């Protein structure tokens, strides 16, 4: 009987690669994608080609700073529809692989569960088929858990294959900082360091009970498990169901007048309510995201009585607007509506990059 494996497929510099396919003359050049493609406007980098990354450009960087770092870069506007179309073609290729169970994580990545005696050969065939059908390159991480497969991909980039299992996990990851683990960000790594846990090996050797006072009864043991690379081995292809929908706007000029802020909240609510209406599920919570000038971000959240009434949701959103600090210029506003979840929906993965 074939052994079960988890493969993590990650498309290399996906958005930039899609743009280069549309404009072959950009191959080998520094390409930056963000906002409307205008570095004089307020926007951030969505992605950058490897050539641009060599100059220190990364996702989330203000576009004007990226342009300053790479004066010769080609800066392009974001085209969501083009990326979604390319992503769907890739996912179709993955689903056509023999015996594949595909769990989509985003435009540019997915887990593939498969039973095979030769996962490396299987991975190479996937890479070949994706390149043949879409002209896009990908890296593949092979693991015996979802965590190990996901982490393995980082060692395979670009366009390579790497395997991480229980046998070589600590050999490869042990001396690395905890921030290199999937699911550990800057804040968590700092909190772990304050407990004397700085490396993956130290986290793997930690007593889960010792992490409970800092992280709670659920997350404490989970971080200890993460340090060992353990966890689920099951790839779940159950259709993903969104917890909520969000929209946000970066203003080219700071909002300073109460009337401007009210209008902006109303416009965001209209877009979010349209997205929510398409789901057919009631709203149960709202979060207002506010970025004050120069760059201080705060969020204000509130659970609300379950409702499908747009006027009620708008009224609650305007209530949250009252939490905005007066006399502080605003450069960005965002609104997120949380929806009631179907009992049988799969949770825990974000399929796009639009949530916050």
Residue 211, helix vs strand vs coil: helix
Residues in contact with 70: Cβ distance below 8 Å, sequence separation at least 6, in sequence order: 30, 32, 52, 55, 57
Please state the length of the chain. Answer: 356
> Which long-range CB contacts under 8 A does 196-201 form with residues at least 24 apart?
199/174, 199/175, 200/170, 200/173, 200/174, 200/175, 200/176, 200/227, 201/170, 201/173, 201/174, 201/175, 201/227
Q: List, as one string, the DSSP characters of 272-336.
A: HHHHHHHHT--EEEEEEEEEETTTEEEEEEEEEEEE--HHHHHHHHHHHHTTSPTT--EEEEEEE
Residues in contact with 260: Cβ distance below 8 Å, sequence separation at least 6, in sequence order: none
* Two tokens, residue 43: 């926007």
Give the active site residue among 19, 51, 109, 202.
109
Strand extents, DSSP E, 177-295: 244-255, 283-292
Neighbours of 12 (CB within 10 A): 18
Of 329, 347, 330, nearest in space to 338 by CA: 347
Contact by Cβ (8 Å): 250, 331: yes
Contact by Cβ (8 Å): 314, 334: no
109 is catalytic: yes
| β partners of residue 245 | 337
SS (H, E, C) 43-90: CECCEECHHHHCCCCCCCCEHHHHHHHCCCCEEECCCHHHHHHHHHHH
Q: Which residues are catalytic?
A: 109
């Amino acid at each position: 009987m074939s052994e079960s494996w988890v493969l993590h497929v990650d498309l290399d510099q996906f958005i930039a690669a899609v743009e280069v396919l549309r404009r072959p003359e950009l191959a080998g050049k520094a390409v930056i994608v963000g906002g409307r493609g205008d570095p004089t406007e307020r926007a951030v980098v969505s992605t950058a080609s490897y050539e641009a990354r060599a100059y220190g450009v990364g996702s989330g960087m203000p576009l004007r700073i990226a342009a300053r770092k790479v004066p010769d870069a080609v800066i392009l506007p974001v085209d969501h529809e083009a990326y979604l179309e390319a992503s769907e073609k890739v996912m179709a290729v993955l689903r056509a692989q023999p015996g594949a169970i595909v769990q989509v994580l985003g435009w540019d990545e997915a887990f593939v569960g498969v039973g095979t005696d030769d996962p490396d050969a299987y991975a190479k065939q996937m890479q070949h088929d994706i390149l043949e059908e879409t002209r896009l390159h990908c890296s593949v991480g092979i693991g015996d858990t979802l965590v190990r497969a996901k982490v393995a991909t980082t060692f395979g980039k670009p366009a390579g294959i790497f395997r991480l299992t229980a046998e070589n996990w600590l050999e490869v990851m042990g001396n690395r900082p905890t921030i290199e683990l999937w699911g550990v960000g800057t804040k968590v790594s700092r909190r772990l360091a304050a407990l004397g846990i700085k490396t993956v090996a130290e986290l793997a050797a930690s007593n889960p009970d010792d992490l409970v006072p800092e992280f709670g009864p659920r997350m404490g043991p989970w971080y200890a498990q993460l340090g060992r690379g353990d966890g689920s081995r099951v790839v779940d292809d159950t259709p993903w169901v969104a917890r909520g929908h969000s929209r946000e706007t970066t203003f080219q000029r700071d909002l300073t007048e109460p009337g401007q802020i009210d209008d902006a909240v109303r416009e965001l609510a209209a877009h979010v309510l349209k997205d929510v209406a398409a789901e057919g599920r009631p709203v149960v919570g709202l979060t207002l995201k506010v970025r004050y000038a120069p760059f201080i971000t705060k969020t204000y959240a509130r659970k609300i009585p379950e409702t499908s009434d747009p006027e009620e949701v708008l009224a609650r959103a305007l209530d949250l607007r009252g939490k905005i600090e007066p006399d502080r210029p605003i450069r960005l506003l965002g609104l997120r509506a949380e929806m009631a979840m179907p009992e049988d929906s799969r949770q825990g993965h974000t399929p796009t990059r639009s949530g916050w």
